[in-house]
Structures are given as structure tokens and as C-alpha cells.
Amino acid sequence: MKVKYLIPFLVLVLVFGFGLACNGESSTKEVSKENPYSAGESITINNEVNWKILSAKDLGDTLEAIDEWSDDKTTTGKFIKVRFTVKNVGKEMKTLTDLKLFDNEDREFVTYDESFGYIEEEEELFLLENINPGMEKTCTVIYEVPKDSKDFILEITNLEWTSDKAYISLGF
């Protein structure tokens, strides 16, 4: 191969290799609540935990029961439902804990503690769970927020006590 073709060839190989290494994931974006990832993006934090929002919905002021033992719940605010996958891509067990949701006024919300009986059977109730290396969980969380809340941002972590954080816009 001629030397004049070697440098462009190496640059092409490096760019292609970097693209494969990222596997379609955002890796260099400066992420904050003001500049979050978009829902649907696959996000890996510290090469340990991968997150992806599958769906996010405003359920309005009524949370419908899915079984005969529960009654519909109502609120003066509204319920937000988020379904996601989380995969432990690291080498040690991780524990899935509460996820924080923020709104346009930077108010912080934790998951609704009465979610049992309100999440469809094919979806998993979000509880304190251990995730072994290489394993993935699909979970659903529900939040109760004020009626005027909007522009929701979900805070995700690498599932450690002193954790790195990233943020995902739910798109509404």
C-alpha cells in the first residue's frame, strides 16, 4: 500500500472502530438537567450500568387498578408512568434503588409508594432489586406529581451510593 493512502486509511479505521466501540450509545455528551439525554437513547454510565427508557406517559389524575383487590386511585395532581430497562454491564452486583424525577420547577419526586396493583402484569414492579453482572431488568415506576408539572427529567445513576448521575428528558 502506498504511504499517501496509509494515513486516510488509518483515520477511517479509527473512526469506524470508535463508532463500533460506542455501539450507538452517547458517550461524550456533557449531560446535566439543562442538557439531558433524550428518551429512547441507550445510556451507559461508567461502563457499569446501561439504561433505556421504553415509554413514558402522563396518566392524568386517575391510576386504574389492574386487579380486583385494588381500587382506582385519584389525585389532585397527576400520575406519570415510566417503563425502562436497566442492564448491569459491569463486573459486580448492583442494587436498583429509587429513581428521582424532576419537573420544570426543579421539584424532586420519588416513586409512588402505592404502585402495587397498578402496573400491568407483563411489566415489572420497581422494587429494591439486585441485578447481577450481565443481567437486564425491565421495570415500571409511577410518580405522583402536581397538575402543573411538565418537562420531566429522570435522574439515572450507576447504582452506587456515591454515584455518577445522568439525566433523561421524558419529552413532555
Residue tagged 419526586 (cell numbers): 109
Give the model confidence (pLDDT) of 60-84 as tens digits: 999 998 888 889 999 999 999 999 9
Sort 5 into a burial class: Cβ within 10 Å, 0-12 / 13-18 / 19+.
Answer: exposed
User: With bands split at pLDDT 50, 70 and 90, how would you rate the model's confidence at 165?
Assistant: very high
- The average pLDDT across 21-44 equals 73
**68 vs 148, residue with greater confidence:** 148
Length of the chain: 172
Q: What is the pLDDT of residue 20?
A: 40
pLDDT at 13 over 70: no
pLDDT at 24 over 50: no
**What global pTM score does this model have?**
0.78
C-alpha distances out from residue 47 to 25, 43, 51, 160, 164, Å: 11, 10, 11, 13, 11
Q: What is the pLDDT of residue 94?
A: 94
Q: What is the pLDDT of residue 23?
A: 43
Domains of the chain: 28-169 (2.60.40.1240)
**116 vs 151, residue with greater confidence:** 151
User: With bands split at pLDDT 50, 70 and 90, how would you rate the model's confidence at 97?
Assistant: confident
Pick from 63-67, 89-93, 159-163 the range whose average pLDDT is largest: 89-93
Look at 45-49, 113-117, 143-147, 164-168 and tell me which has the smallest mean pLDDT.
Answer: 113-117
- The average pLDDT across 25-54 equals 84
CA 5 to chain centre: 44
Task: For residue 135, count other CB atoms closer than 10 A to its CB.
Answer: 13
Average pLDDT, the chain: 83
**2 vs 72, residue with greater confidence:** 72
Cell of 28: 461524550
